[in-house]
Chains A and B, each alone.
Chain A
Amino acid sequence: MLYREAGQFKTTYDADQAIFPIAQDRWAVIAFAAIAFLVVPFFVNDYWTNAVLLPLLIYGLAALGLNILVGYCGQISLGTGGFMAVGAFASYKLMTSFPELNIAIVVLLSGGATALVGVMFGLPSLRIKGFYLAVATLAAQFFLVWLFNKVGWFYNYSATGQISVPERSIFGLVVTGPTAAPWVKYLFCLSFLALFGLIAKNVVRGRIGRNWMAIRDMDIAAELIGVRPLQTKLSAFAFSSFYVGMAGSLLFTIYLGAIEVTEVFGINVSFLVLFMVIIGGLGSILGSFLGATFLVLMPIFLKNFMVDGLGLLPVLAKHVEILLMGLLIMGFLIVEPHGLARMWQILKEKFRLWPFPY
């Protein structure tokens, strides 16, 4: 009864093409954004930001980027961890070489640098397809991590090979480093996610996004009707890597502060982000966020439940956690292979008709 679009007439093309054509959706999203921006910052503390909110926002951004590539353009990539590392090291080099540069610009430039690297590793996609490409992108993953580990220039020849973030502020508020307040970090990441989520939503609805989807559905047919494979595939790689690079940059500057490349950006990250995309829903912006939420919260929940709830030893709990994650992923794919986004859609359909069965 509450969720019904009856009586909402669209009288202009603008109204017809709005991102949320249904008023209830629009209000819900505005309310959600208002809470996230105006209410949550007053309540966050250190634990919530560091354990839940920041990983959620940052991985949400990374999943969004990967979803553009895998979900919209159909090119499977397992190099996400490597590309995030590019973002992180680009921002480190930028911050140490140009100390006066604004941190927001640093993050954007890091995204740009990653986009360039992404295009370079995207070039083989013109010839290689499907799983061959997926394995080929692993080359990016291993090569980039090795590069940042071996070449001293990237970590300014520090003895440990670690990089740690210098302190930077924006609008007079400290954002990076240990002295930054949790709510500032949270708002900084949230702004990026909100802004670039909106941009992504509009891009995938436009000509570029439609080209991507045409290539995804059948690249030969798309080519025949005049979609240029070169530009389309590379633009998807660039776009996706831009997002992933920003996520890597935020992960380093805001969230972790100090990283060691082999630990933070290993192949597990690539799989984790790909899981987020698949469990969230391929080809869905909302799905990327839902998938990130699910996979960030689930391990915390499992760990708390097993260690504190059942009193298992942490070592044992770690094994059980891996086992349960595997089971959950398999179970999830069996129940709903199209991901959380599809579940949400089904739920909305049910709501429209409620309380009638059909």
Chain B
Amino acid sequence: MLFFIETVLSGLMAGVMYSLVALGFVLIFKASGIFNFAQGVFCLFAALTFVGIMEKTGVPWPVSFVLTVGVMIALAWAIERFLLSHLVNQEPIILFMATIGLAYFLEGFGDLLWGSDVKPLDIGLPSGASDWMLDTFDIYVEKLEVVAAVVAAALVTGLAIFFQKTRIGRALRAVADDHQAALSVGISLRTIWVIVWSVAGIVALVAGIMWGAKSGVQFSLSLIALKALPVLILGGFTSIPGAIVGGLIIGVGEKVAEIYLGPFVGGAIENWFAYMLALAFLLVRPQGLFGERIIERV
């Protein structure tokens, strides 16, 4: 039983990490209807830049963090200016493909700029098991994962306040609701897109740092996008709570399945299990758990 609780807990923590990546997808999809496949590479690129700046200049990590945020905002602006503004009104699949092109570009660019070797990311995040949990409940919990969960919770709360209470947040929600109506009341779509991509970039940076602290900053970081996709379809493309709950479900499901089902079928099932789980959910609710109801008209 204890072991089961441990498994579920570690699944929950891993799920939080997936949610962090999925959040970036949801933000962009909500505001511009673009399925941004480059989100995973965003994480890699942001983390690479973050580590690279620290390595090259030796500044403390908060400075590097601020600088990287600046880089991500500049990147968001460039993407809007040079890519999206030329692709307005294209079909979703074309935009999707453009973001895959963007993913390639950023991957090559990041490697060229900062080199492709594995970089350790050490900004003093705690690691190892939490003693308190081990002593009181005899349960093994990674400290880093607890930190990740706290950061994710803070980030989501921050985003929620940003969306609900600020002028820009209101404009963002208006755009997500109806592009044309938002345009007609004087909201600049282009500005909103730059802001949304910047926010997604910052979320990617946080996710990249968390994942980087866990396993080093390396190319495989960009593959976590593939981990976040089942989370997305499970939670619904347009729902922020969906991304969180979806992440938790996938995280727990994956861990439990790996331990209790894996040995019977040969192991290493975590690559596809999340997808199958999400697929099973989708058959019941085609729009995901929290997605907007699909209404079709002729």
Contact = CB atoms under 8 A, between A and B. Distances in A.
B87 interface: yes
Contacts of A132: 233, 237, 282, 286-288
A271 B100 contact: yes
A266 B279 CA distance: 20
Interface stretch (B3-11, B105-113, B123-131, B185-193): B105-113
B73 interface: no
Contacts of B120: none
Contacts of A145: 271
B2 interface: no
A138 B105 CA distance: 23
A2 interface: no
A327 B101 CA distance: 7
A166 interface: no
Given A136-B275, A139-B276, A333 B92 contact: no
Contact of A320 (B83, B100, B108): B108
B272 A337 contact: no
A323 B105 contact: yes
B266 A326 contact: no
| Majority secondary structure, A binding face | helix
Contacts of B296: 220
Contacts of A267: 226
Interface in B74-107: 83, 86-87, 90-94, 96-98, 100-107
A320 to B, nearest CB: 7
Contacts of B297: 220
B283 interface: yes
A143 B287 contact: no
Nearest to A71: B93
Interface stretch (A10-18, A86-94, A123-131, A186-194): A123-131
Interface string A131-145: 110111011001101
Contacts of A260: none
A150 B275 CA distance: 18
A329 B112 contact: no
A142 B87 contact: no
A326 B108 contact: yes
A282 B90 CA distance: 13
B104 A70 contact: no
B121 interface: no
Interface in B50-75: none
Given A132-B287, A329-B97, A334-B87, A218 B107 contact: no
Interface of B: 35, 83, 86-87, 90-94, 96-98, 100-109, 111-112, 116, 226, 229-230, 232-233, 237, 265-269, 271-272, 275-276, 278-279, 282-283, 286-288, 294, 296-298
5 contacts: A132-B288, A143-B276, A323-B107, A323-B109, A333-B90
5 shortest interchain CB distances as A-B pairs: A323-B108, A326-B105, A326-B104, A329-B101, A139-B275
